[in-house]
Chains A and B, each alone.
Chain A
Amino acid sequence: MQLSERHQEYWRKNLRITAVLLAIWFVVTFVVIFFAPQLNEIVIMGFPFAFYMGAQGALIIYVLIIWFYARRMNQLDNEYGVQEGEEQ
């Protein structure tokens, strides 16, 4: 079967969303770890920043990334008419 222009656009958008979310994932994980000794100088509510990110902050962001991806992609399916039919 031949993919239409709309289909190509859907896939490009998917790739863009994936890339942006992956970049956020990379920053909150690896950039924060790399500068952990410096970032730990910042203390918020008793938590050194890098420690907080590793223990909780990054985890919260991971959950939000996946939540956003699921929501956005499920919308995108509908916008581009590639959503699945009702359950069989």
Chain B
Amino acid sequence: MTTQTQSQFFQQLKKYYTFYTGGFIAFVIVLAILEQMGLSPKWIGLIFLGATIALYAGIGIMSKTADVSEYYVAGRRVPAIFNGMATGADWMSAASFIGMAGTLYLAGYDGLAFVMGWTGGYVLVALFLAPYLRKFGQFTIPDFLGSRYGGNLPRTIGVIAAIICSFTYVVAQIYGVGIITARLTGIEFQYGVFLGLAGILVCSFLGGMRAVTWTQVAQYIILIIAYMIPVVWLSMSHTGNPVPQLAYGQVLQQVTQLEKDFNNADTTKGALEASARAAFKAQQESLEAKIAALDEAVAAGTGAAFLEAQRAEAGNPDGFAATTDELKAQWTKAAAGAKGKTGPVSAHATAFAGKGAEANLLKSNPDATAEEIAAAQAEDQKASDIKRRNFIALVLCLMVGTASLPHILMRYYTTPSVREARKSVFWSLFFIFLLYFTAPALAVLVKFEVYSNLVGSSFASLPAWVANWSAVDATLMKIVDINLDGIVQLAEITIGGDLIVLATPEIAGLPYVISGMVAAGGLAAALSTADGLLLTIANALSHDVYYKMIDPKASTVRRLAISKGLLVLVALFAAYTASLKPGDILFLVGAAFSLAASAFFPALVLGVFWKRANYLGAVIGMLAGLGVCMYYMYTTYPFFGGVPANQWFDIAPIAAGIFGMPIGFLGVIVGSLISKAPSVEIQQLVDHVRYPNLEGDIDTRAT
């Protein structure tokens, strides 16, 4: 292997992966033919699951290694373009693959914070971190903190921060694996979690970064094919244009027109919508009246009798509320759901819509005075400003978080040179971009399908995909004829975000094999991210804690054995946590970004760009950034017992990093200035990372 040159290696990789891509396409075609011959969907799902996991495991076994540099950084010979694909898969999680288009479908413009935030962060990676970390050339991010700032404390804080943010993130990924496995094969969620885990472990356990890298490249290829085919097909069949990213401009205009019609009671569509909204309003009011009656009964001490009466009235169904509190919670939720259906449709492309106070006022009181109108306008303006502020804060947190997550930064240690590291960031974003700039198009295309074809169709003959999905999972697709006119109105449809990507093949009229492929793509996205994260955690513990701090004389064999052991332990613990189905997964993911941004970014960037930054600055900056961020989440996020009233400037807890980051920078600067400048050796280290090649330079490469 050592005799092989880098360009021979590159040619060989190109050959392997071209062959592999062809093989995957052939595999899908064979399954499609088998489906025509009568293979059942359940078998197609199982074959997809089994074949892809076996494939990843196979790559893992082929890449097994006992070499430290291969295990931690894939031997530092991953060509830019392949590292780009691996980073793409590492980066794009189940949330990107399945959730993104759905978020855009539901939130319109306001959902674009994720699209911009999760791509624009790579600009920061390219400009501030990747080339310098590559020149530094060790194994982990805490390595850099430890060498740059000296002493074990910065390294330890780095390890703790890396574990906190990677662990919250990996739990969310394993959860995703469980859901997809369950959906694909019909086995229980809990078993799905551990089955998926086996796929992750067999790969990273044997070959560390080397196996993870080559598996991630394979996973990227599957996930991008699985994402693109249904969208292109949908675009082709709906607009006649196979490039969805261009075609959807026209579709967006049609959607906007339909939104206007739905909100204008003088049109036929608008009148039907108004009738459905009125029915929901009546439902909401009746529920609120029932809640009031319940409260009264409880206050009078006759709550139990009231509950019994309600149970009898409902016909004693299974799963009826067991206590008055439970009943109240159910009704409150239902009332809120009905209330959500009474308002106008929000326009897809509109940014930071107000709360509609002015429109409501004019509707209820057409003769409102100028002062009343001005007050309502001011209220709308305030709501709109808060939305804009949160949008900006979230975009910044996601971007800086991207540029601080250790599992992403670590990937740039694996390229052969600084030159390749720079190019590799370009390829990374390019491959991520392919999916991210397709998602907004997909959201609009599906929206058009729902607005133009589903709305107005008859309940007696719903499109097949609607009937299928509402039967499978009511949280994804629910449809009720509230005003009993036999015709579907928009207000009567409730769609869960994850439906968009999962149902696209059916909406586009593609065979089941494509649905199976999409699920396999989602699985690839979740597994690849989980792989990278688990490795980051295990490496932080084995390399930074054990080797660098506890036993620097440990032998290679021992270091790898410790690392592999920890990998299994961390994976099992993460899977166990995921199988408990912890609360709000999306919040956990967002929190990981805010935490990483607050803890790492100031110390990493100033470490390269400001020679004066020193030990005390790094310690204060990292602790203060992380501390402020965690404190803000703790006091404002309901899960930890916080209340929204504690918010500063009405910023939601997911964007807590907006406060942690500036404090982090301030901490590094103040801490550095009040203590003496770093030693000559450390200043030389800074020069060393700034120049790809210096004569008479020091060498920091790890072996």
Contact = CB atoms under 8 A, between A and B. Distances in A.
A40 B349 contact: yes
Given A60-B437, A66-B122, A87-B6, A29 B116 contact: yes
A29 B249 CA distance: 21
Given A33-B395, A36-B351, A66-B426, A87 B692 contact: no
A67 B112 CA distance: 23
A47 B249 contact: yes
B684 interface: yes
Contacts of B392: 30, 33-34
B178 to A, nearest CB: 31
Contact of B122 (A40, A62, A73): A62
Contacts of B391: 33
B266 interface: no
A54 B249 CA distance: 14
Nearest to B109: A51
B123 interface: yes
A30 B426 CA distance: 22
Category for how many chain B residues contact A: 35 or more
A34 B128 CA distance: 25
A53 B313 CA distance: 54
A66 B123 contact: yes
B440 A58 contact: no
B126 A66 contact: yes
Interface stretch (B12-20, B428-436, B554-562, B582-590): B428-436
Given A45-B249, A48-B349, A62 B119 contact: yes
B690 interface: yes
B115 A59 contact: yes
Nearest to B396: A30
The residue in A3, A37, A62, A82 that gathers the most chain B C-beta atoms within 10 A of its C-beta is A62
A87 B416 contact: yes
Category for how many chain A residues contact B: 35 or more
B452 to A, nearest CB: 16
Interface stretch (B228-236, B369-377, B417-425, B505-513): B417-425
Contact of A59 (B384, B399, B437): B437
A36 B437 contact: no
B422 A51 contact: no
Contacts of B127: 18, 21-22, 69
Nearest to A48: B349
A16 B133 CA distance: 20
Contacts of A11: 690-691
Nearest to A49: B349
Interface of B: 5-6, 104, 109, 112, 115-116, 119-120, 122-123, 126-128, 131, 245, 249-253, 349-352, 384, 388, 391-392, 395-396, 399, 416-419, 422-423, 425-426, 429-430, 433, 436-437, 440-441, 684, 687, 690-697
18 contacts: A30-B392, A33-B351, A36-B109, A37-B350, A40-B109, A40-B351, A46-B252, A55-B440, A59-B115, A59-B116, A60-B437, A66-B123, A66-B425, A74-B419, A83-B692, A84-B693, A85-B693, A87-B417
* Interface pairs A-B: 7 shortest CB-CB: A46-B249, A54-B112, A36-B351, A55-B440, A70-B422, A51-B349, A66-B126
